[in-house]
Amino acid sequence: MGLRAVISRIYRGEISADIVGRPKIWYSISGLLLAFSIAGLLVQGLNFGVEFKGGSVFTFKAPNASIEQVRGAVTDGGVHQVIVQKAGGDWRATTESLTSAEVTKVKTSVSQELKIPADKVSTQVVGASWGGQIQKKAWQALLVFMILIIAYLSLAFEWRMALAAVVALVHDLVITAGVYAWSGFEVTPATLLGFLTILGYSLYDAVVVFDMIKEVTKPLGPTSKTTYSEAANQALSSTLVRSLNTSLVAILPVGAILFIGTTLFGAGTLKDLSLALFVGMIVGTYSSICVATPLLVQFKEREPKFRQIRENIARREQSTKRQAKTAKVRAGAGASGDARSDDAPSDDEPSDDASGGSAPDVRSTVTVRKVVQSGQRQQPKRGTRQQRRGGK
């Protein structure tokens, strides 16, 4: 079978992978990703931007300057922590909180070393209290989002689906935050918007899969020939291509912003948003398929209804195997019985008991041969129907 035929069958849903039946593989992958992410959060930590921890921001135009020259000019002004970014044609240097005299000193250093007027260097001082308010609002928004999600899924589906979806959401958040920690990208308000966006995207993917699972598993009953796991895997296979296509279409423009825009055009703060979206969409697609769905199946298989279905199917399979084995044994016994009946005497033949046991065994002294007639059979003519009735 060619590659094109295989892809066509996958798109039509004729080929399905046993995703639900292999939870240990997916849980192992998720465990490694979570361990990697938690290690990044503990070792590297998140690089919070000036909007969260406070500081001073210097913005100016220096078309002919490199990032090393800009960092050196700002550092020569007496600051210790400098983060330099290029947003379009502007340079943005973020430092720790500075006094008015220190800000003036930095502006003078930048003006002298980069050959730009001092009045062209704009400054902005952000207090730590404002960043603390942003963090508080972000946590509140996340908490409200989680509560609404749990309530919606519990009403629209059931609490087991809500729990599986929330576990997948936390899974996505931790992994995305870990990637941010290892990459060293600055966490800005745009990053928070990206986090909330990927939560909604991951939730949408999970709801699509759960809705199909609910529809497929609804007719299951005690006499069903399919377990909940098999039905859920069938539903997942029917939505798998749709999920992958949706994710691919969404990831391509985000990847363009992240890689092309950042490296070639200096996308600036857009890279904070694009990194969150890029990582979150990939992890969200994976979690809705390989984490939320197997977890939901494990929850549902513990219900008495679906446990009874599995037991009934296993009992019928054992009964079928037992019947097949019995039929095989009877067939073998029947064959041996026919072989023995060929040697037994018939009713027309005299037996040893009838002759008092003194007659010799005919079969032992006489060779019996079957004669098969060849040629035409010679039978008397029966005549016409009128002759048989007595007429002439």
- Identify the pLDDT of residue 29: 93
In angstroms, what CA-CA distances link 210 with 63, 116, 122, 161, 316?
Answer: 53, 59, 52, 7, 29
pLDDT at 104: 85
Tell me: pLDDT of 371 over 60.
no
Q: How many CB atoms lie within 10 A of CB 23?
A: 17
Portion of the chain with pLDDT greater than 70, in percent:
74
pLDDT tens for 253-275 read 888 877 776 666 555 557 777 88
Percent of the chain's residues with pLDDT above 90: 7
| Phi, psi (deg, nearest 5) at residue 305 | -60, -50
**Residue bearing the bigger pLDDT, 87 or 362:** 87
Average pLDDT value for residue range 23-48:
90
DSSP H or E run through 272: helix 270-287
Residue 167: Cβ-neighbour burial (10 angstroms; 0-12, 13-18, 19+): middle
Question: 10 and 241 in contact (C-beta within 8 Å)?
Answer: yes
The contacts of residue 275 (CB under 8 Å, 6+ apart) are 179, 180, 183, 185, 191, 194, 258
Q: Give yes or no for residue 203 having a pLDDT over 70.
A: yes
Q: What is the pLDDT of residue 367?
A: 53
pLDDT attached to residue 233:
87
Q: Which of 351 and 102 is assigned the larger pLDDT?
A: 102
User: How far is the C-alpha of 274 from the C-alpha of 188, rounded, in Å?
Assistant: 12
The CA distance from 148 to 197, in Å, is 15
Backbone angles phi, psi at 269, to 5 degrees: -65, -15
Sign of the Cα torsion 232, 237, 239, 243 reads: positive
> Over the stretch 214-250, which tens digit does the pLDDT of each residue have?
888 888 888 888 888 888 888 888 888 777 888 888 8
CA distance 36 to 385: 101
pLDDT at residue 362, rounded to an integer: 42
The answer to whether the pTM exceeds 0.85 is no
DSSP one-letter code for 351: P
Strands 90-95 and 55-61: antiparallel
**C-alpha torsion angle, residues 154, 158, 162, 163 (rounded to 10):** 130
Q: What is the mean pLDDT of the chain?
A: 77
Both tokens of 187, joined, read 């966490």
Q: 92: part of which helix (H) or strand (E)?
A: strand 90-95
Selected residue with higher pLDDT from 300 and 331: 300
pLDDT (mean) for 313-338: 70
Q: Where are the alpha helices (DSSP H) in 184-269?
A: 189-217, 228-255
Mean pLDDT, range 107-117, rounded to an integer: 85
